[in-house]
Amino acid sequence: MKVLIAGVSGLLGRCLSDLFDKEHIAYVSTHNTRPFKGSHRVSYESDTDLEAFIKKEKPTVCVNCIVQRLTDVCEKDWIQTKKVNVDIADRVARICAKNNVHLVHISTDYVFDGSHAPYSPESEVNPLQNYGISKLIAEKRVLACGGAQIIRVPVLYCDTLENLEENAVTVIGKKVLNLTVQTKEDNWSVRRPVFIPDFCHFILNSIKEKRKGIYHFYNPRDKTTKYQMALMIANYLGIPADHIQPQNSFPVGDAARPYDTQLMDNKYDINAYKFTPLEEGIQRAFKHLWHPPIFENPSKVCLLLDLDGTLIDTEDLHFHAYKGAFANWGYTFDEDDFQKLIQHGEYPRCQNIDAIRDYKNRNLRAFHGTINWIRGADEFLEKLLSAGINFAIVTNTGKENVEFFKQKLPLLQRVKQWITREDTQLGKPHSQPYEEAKNRFWKEAQAQTIIGFENTLGGLRSLEKVTRCIYYVGVSKEDVYMINDFSQVK
């Protein structure tokens, strides 16, 4: 037996690959844009290319994991949805049948309208949106080729993620982590998530038994809503969830969602399979963001904090100091230039950059106005100092400017652990500043969790090499806690 995993770089494909490695199952895999474990790039838009690959590799089984799964995206673009969910499935089915390759095709519970659960493989189908329609058409194309197995599954999730947006369960965490806005979450539709590694064992058994026809694989234990999952995530992370309100009526969106698509299947014993409890699966998926409550466990945490824009409100001061310095040499320096500098470490192309930086710093230290704390940052620092918590400030700002800020804000003088621009060869967004801070200040023997605080993408890129447990002052697209002020940090 040799298995072809079509679409290995998605969540299901990656988990299948891991299981096949563990079970010593021979396989070959393909990707579109993201290679994974030596996978091959094959065009599934060409009969010729796909068939040539199959003839060369000679798989005996194919698991088709290729899908456009985002329902709202499918609703907005039927042509692209059909191209991925229908045309590719049809092509794979025809070529597999022609070359005597047993096909396992993955489908969805969204072929049902959710009004008459539970649903068996023989139940009447009635998809409500383009996603379900495309998957139903694909099923008919696959069945028309004969000899294949179709497995319908509900929402899938796992803990081996490249980002939280990879599945419909963990993406809920993006709302939970964003403490800066009030939002709503669906508390109407019933969800029964399946942990992907559990599903992979069913696929492997299906391959070994060469099952044919339509099968349902489902979680017979967990029943929840997206809002209830948000509460689970917030409870595990130890953060409030009052910024998320339940949407108790039919959810508004581009694509209609069914109420409850509970599946059933009497062709096999569902209880013979292990099911990871949803609460456990969520904890595994969000483990990298968990930390002990900071002030309840002072010896178990190590905090690394950025300075400018995170603790103190000085970014406007830096900008105008740079702007004046560049103008002194006849160059313009605007907000876009400043963002490139603080986000990516990119200076505008010009001569005399060292002289410009020196002039900028002298210009900054000539400032006679008031420098303010980011809201709540001074109280937060006071609590850290009073509790004896291990923390350091890690900044691209040089020592002279730091001393200037200390004179303006005397509380900074009580901070003993610093990494300034002179302490490393490379500044942010390179990881060296935070790596240096970790080497100097992190107490590994005490099993300390490193928690980072930043306010720019460049800072995040520097920090994420040291820890993935990060608080961001403001709004970010990254998988981080987002806060308005330090009162939201527990």
Q: What is the pLDDT of residue 394?
A: 98
The answer to the question of residue 229 being in a domain is no
Q: Which residue has the higher pLDDT, 466 or 444?
A: 466
Q: What is the pLDDT of residue 246?
A: 96
Per-residue pLDDT tens over the stretch 11-49: 999 999 999 999 999 999 999 989 999 999 999 998 999
Confidence check: pLDDT of 350 > 90? no
Q: 449 in helix, strand or coil?
A: strand
The answer to the question of residue 289 being in a domain is no
468 and 358 share one domain: yes
Q: What is the pLDDT of residue 329?
A: 85
42 and 119 share one domain: yes
Confidence check: pLDDT of 253 > 80? no
Mean pLDDT estimate for the chain: 94
Q: Which amino acid is at 125?
A: V
Two tokens at 129? 């949106």
CATH of residue 307: 3.40.50.1000
Task: Give me the mean pLDDT over the 383-395 stretch.
Answer: 97
Task: Give me the mean pLDDT over the 380-404 stretch.
Answer: 96
The answer to the question of residue 45 being in a domain is yes
d(CA 480, CA 490): 15
72 and 213 share one domain: yes
CATH of residue 44: 3.40.50.720
Q: What is the pLDDT of residue 9?
A: 93
DSSP 429-480: TSSHHHHHHHHHH--GGGTPEEEEEESSHHHHHHHTTT-S-EEEES--SSSS
Q: What is the pLDDT of residue 349?
A: 83
d(CA 84, CA 32): 12
Q: What is the pLDDT of residue 480?
A: 97
For 25, the domain range is 3-163+191-221+259-284
Q: What is the pLDDT of residue 345?
A: 82
Confidence check: pLDDT of 252 > 80? no
Share of the chain above pLDDT 70, in %: 99
Structure confidence at residue 109 as a pLDDT band (50, 70, 90): very high
Confidence check: pLDDT of 251 > 80? no
The answer to the question of residue 78 being in a domain is yes
40 and 63 share one domain: yes
The answer to the question of residue 252 being in a domain is no
Selection from 197, 79, 210, 94 nearest residue 141 by Cα: 94
Cα first-last separation, the chain:
53
Confidence check: pLDDT of 256 > 90? no
Q: What is the pLDDT of residue 325?
A: 87
The answer to the question of residue 171 being in a domain is no
Q: What is the pLDDT of residue 490?
A: 85
372 and 277 share one domain: no
Q: 414 in helix, strand or coil?
A: helix
Confidence check: pLDDT of 450 > 80? yes
Q: What is the pLDDT of residue 30?
A: 96
Selection from 144, 129, 139, 3 nearest residue 75 by Cα: 129
In sequence order, the 6+-apart residues with CB closer than 8 A to the CB of 368 are none
Confidence check: pLDDT of 1 > 80? yes
Task: Give me the mean pLDDT over the 398-416 stretch.
Answer: 96
325 and 275 share one domain: no
Structure confidence at residue 313 as a pLDDT band (50, 70, 90): very high
341 and 264 share one domain: no
Structure confidence at residue 351 as a pLDDT band (50, 70, 90): confident
Confidence check: pLDDT of 346 > 90? no
The answer to the question of residue 107 being in a domain is yes
Q: What is the pLDDT of residue 66?
A: 95
**Counted domains in the chain:** 2
274 and 309 share one domain: no
Q: What is the pLDDT of residue 133?
A: 97
The answer to the question of residue 292 being in a domain is no
Task: Give me the mean pLDDT over the 123-149 stretch.
Answer: 96
d(CA 31, CA 43): 9
- Token pair 């099911």 is found at 275
382 half-sphere exposure, CB direction, 13 A CA radius: 9
Confidence check: pLDDT of 426 > 90? yes
Task: Give me the mean pLDDT over the 300-329 stretch.
Answer: 93
Q: What is the pLDDT of residue 193?
A: 97
Structure confidence at residue 83 as a pLDDT band (50, 70, 90): very high
Question: Taking a C-beta distance cutoff of 8 angstroms, is the pair 408, 371 a contact?
Answer: yes
273 and 340 share one domain: no
What's the Rg (C-alpha) of the chain? 27
203 and 329 share one domain: no
348 and 265 share one domain: no
349 and 201 share one domain: no
Question: Taking a C-beta distance cutoff of 8 angstroms, is the pair 29, 8 a contact?
Answer: yes
Task: Give me the mean pLDDT over the 183-190 stretch.
Answer: 95
Selection from 453, 442, 436, 439 nearest residue 302 by Cα: 442
Structure confidence at residue 260 as a pLDDT band (50, 70, 90): very high
Question: Model's pTM, two decimal places?
Answer: 0.92
Per-residue pLDDT tens over the stretch 137-175: 999 999 999 999 999 999 999 999 999 999 999 999 999
